[in-house]
Amino acid sequence: NAGVMQNPRHLVRRRGQEARLRCSPMKGHSHVYWYRQLPEEGLKFMVYLQKENIIDESGMPKERFSAEFPKEGPSILRIQQVVRGDSAAYFCASSQGLYNSPLHFGNGTRLTVT
Partner 1 sequence: AQTVTQSQPEMSVQEAETVTLSCTYDTSESDYYLFWYKQPPSRQMILVIRQEAYKQQNATENRFSVNFQKAAKSFSLKISDSQLGDAAMYFCAYNPVNDMRFGAGTRLTVKP
Instruction: Rule CB under 8 A: choose which of 34, 48, 65, 69 binds partner 1.
Output: 48
- Quote the CA–CA distance of 31 and 90 in Å, as a whole number: 17
Instruction: Rule CB under 8 A: choose which of 37, 64, 76, 96 binds partner 1.
Output: 37
- Quote the CA–CA distance of 102 and 111 in Å, as a whole number: 26
With H, G, I as helix, E, B as strand and everything else as coil, classify residue 114.
coil
85 binds partner 1, rule: CB under 8 A: no
Reported as type and span, the H/E element at residue 19 is: strand 19-24
42 binds partner 1, rule: CB under 8 A: yes
| Least separation in angstroms between CB 4 and partner 1 | 10
For the chain, state the CA radius of gyration: 13
Instruction: Rule CB under 8 A: choose which of 11, 26, 43, 54 binds partner 1.
Output: 43
- Quote the CA–CA distance of 25 and 91 in Å, as a whole number: 12
29 binds partner 1, rule: CB under 8 A: no
Residues in contact with partner 1 by CB under 8 A are 33, 35, 37, 39-45, 48, 56, 59, 89, 91, 99-100, 102-105, 107-108, 110
